[in-house]
Structure 1
């Protein structure tokens, strides 16, 4: 196994672990903490997800470079491109809508539950699946 391939595997699983920990553990649990109101929770979420998404962009770039350096089969490259594509969809298509709603709620405005949130969650689930499949494909490359 080449160093590039080993690092691609490691980066993929670190990325997967970060998404699972933040999106599926921290995000829902913060609203159960005593004294955390919706505006406070959303304000925390904005900070956390801005940081997570920034790190994800770096991990996506690192994964792309490492996978390209490892020269796996074309099917592995295709699978490895899914998670970065899903991340870009989240950032370009969904996050702006969520940001507007969050800004309104944090400012004190009443806002209905957003369907954009469901879209973000669906993309997040697809990203988790794609990262798991990418890691598995890289392990067998």
Structure 2
């Protein structure tokens, strides 16, 4: 296994683990904890997802560079590209809309529930599947 492939495999699976742990475990459970109000949950969520998206952007950059250096097969490139594009849509399009609603709720306004949150979740699912497929394909090609 080349160094760039090894780095790509490590980054894919670390990124996948972070998304799984935060998006599919921490985020939904946070609102079930005793005494966690909507305002507290949104405040925590905002901090956690901002940090997650920053780290994901670093992982995406590392992946793109390592894949360009290692020139993996088409399947791995497509899978990683889907994950990176899903992240880009989340950060550039979806998060700003969610931030506006969070700002309103944190300011004490009665903001309506956002259906954009479901778009974010759908993109998390797409990203998770793409990372899993990309990681498996990278391992199989090594």
The aligned runs of 1:69-108 (5 Å cut-off) are: 69-108=69-108
Superposed CA RMSD in Å reads: 0.9
| CA contact 1:5–1:138 (8 Å) conserved in 2 | yes
Match of 1:21 in 2: 21
Match of 2:30 in 1: 30
1:45-86 Cα deviation digits (max 9, x unpaired): 000000000000000001111111212123322222111110
Moved more, 68-77 or 97-106: 68-77
| CA contact 1:68–1:77 (8 Å) conserved in 2 | no
| CA contact 1:86–1:123 (8 Å) conserved in 2 | yes
Q: Paired residues, what number?
A: 141
1:5-64 Cα deviation digits (max 9, x unpaired): 011001000000000000001101111111110011001000000000000000000111
The runs of 5 or more residues in structure 1 that have no matched partner are none
The runs of 5 or more residues in structure 2 that have no matched partner are none
Runs of 4 or more consecutive aligned structure 1 residues displaced over 6 Å after TM superposition: none
Match of 2:47 in 1: 47
Cα distance between partner residues in 2 of 1:96 and 1:39:
18
Match of 2:59 in 1: 59
TM-score w.r.t. structure 1 length?
A: 0.97
SS of residue in 2 equivalent to 1:5: helix
How far off its partner does 1:113 sit? Answer: 1.3
